Amino acid sequence: MKIALVASRFNSVIVERLVEGAKQVIEPHGSYELFWVPGALEIPVVAQKLSRTNRYQALVCLGAVIKGASDHYEHVSREVHNGVTRVSLDAGIPVAMGVLTVESMAQAFERAGGTHGNVGANAASAAVDVLKLFERVRELT
């Protein structure tokens, strides 16, 4: 399996933990390449470009959108989720969502290797599982 990780540099203290979780899951199954983007909004367009290279069987998108004083958080969260979903459907490959959308830095740490696990690892596991399922589906044809 060859998987691309698309990770946001914004909130890097959190995202680096998500990346580490994803790497640990992927390494026993294949290889990965890591692509850093400036912020969460850039994740879908870079994922789209990577999907069109046909070099990767799956993509894992990683980031952290943390609520602030304005409604900017809601707009960013919605557009990133919609964009990633669109890339997956258009490309026909797994594009796993590992972008946190939380209300506080404490919640982000809880989901980046803390008490609620690691969303990066969860997203990578989902990508690997869907790739295995794709293999089973191919065997049916």
**Angle subtended by helix axes 12-26 and 119-140, to nearest 10:** 40
Measured between alpha carbons, how far is 82 from 76 in angstroms, rounded to an integer? 10
Q: How many separate helices (H) and strands (E) can be counted in the chain?
A: 5, 6
Q: Is 72 one of the catalytic residues? A: yes
Transcribe 58-96 into DSSP letters.
Answer: EEEEEEEEE--SSTHHHHHHHHHHHHHHHHHHHHTS-EE
Which tokens hold the place of 56? 């990767």
| Of 72, 75, 81, 116, catalytic | 72
CA terminus-to-terminus distance, the chain? 21
Catalytic residues: 72
